[in-house]
């Protein structure tokens, strides 16, 4: 494998989201802290031992997909290589709309604090729900 391909693979791997790193800061958070960041949960339940389970689900339009673009422009150029131009463009989606990005976070609370979590969905989208750092 040539060196440039190896370097690209390393860079891409380095950009991958670590799910454990997203979850770790939320352990021991209170329900109020989680709800302040994500809003009201989609679903909630309580088991016989008194633990509360809450589910947050978020969706966003996917930015991927195919499109065809066309551009129009006009301009005028001076004799010294200086030009002025104006243009406009149109992009038309091709094919079915891509599926939305989804991130589900299931949190279990005991004694008012997060003790278990399960995150599913697009790792890069889920990264937008990481716990904010301390404020200075």
The pLDDT tens digits for 37-60 are 999 999 999 999 999 999 999 999
Spans of all domains in the chain: 19-62+97-131
Which listed CATH number (3.40.50.720, 3.30.2090.10, 3.30.930.10, 3.30.1450.10) goes with 19-62+97-131?
3.30.1450.10
CA dist 87 → 13, 70, 73 (Å): 39, 11, 4
Give tens-digit pLDDT for 89-115: 666 666 787 889 999 999 999 999 999
pLDDT (0 to 100) of residue 77:
58
Residue 120: pLDDT over 70? yes
Q: What's the pLDDT at 74?
A: 62
Beta-carbon contacts of 65 under 8 Å, excluding residues fewer than 6 positions away, are 93, 94, 95, 97, 98
Instruction: Give CA–CA dist 57/107, Å, rounded.
Output: 11
How far are the Cα atoms of 7, 9, 22, 130 from residue 14, in angstroms, in the given order?
11, 8, 15, 18
Give CA–CA dist 123/136, Å, rounded.
Answer: 28
């Amino acid at each position: 494998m040539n060196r440039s391909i190896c370097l690209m693979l390393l860079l891409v791997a380095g950009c991958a989201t670590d799910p454990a790193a997203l979850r770790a800061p939320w352990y021991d958070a209170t329900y109020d802290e989680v709800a302040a960041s994500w809003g009201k949960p989609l679903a909630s339940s309580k088991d016989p031992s008194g633990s509360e389970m809450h589910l947050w689900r978020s969706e966003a339009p996917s930015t991927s997909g195919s499109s065809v673009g066309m551009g129009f422009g006009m301009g005028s150029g001076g004799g010294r290589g200086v030009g002025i131009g104006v243009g406009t463009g149109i992009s038309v989606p091709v094919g079915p709309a891509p599926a939305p990005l989804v991130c589900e976070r299931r949190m279990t609370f005991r004694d008012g604090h997060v003790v278990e979590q399960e995150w599913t969905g697009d790792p890069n989208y889920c990264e937008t729900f990481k716990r904010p750092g301390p404020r200075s």
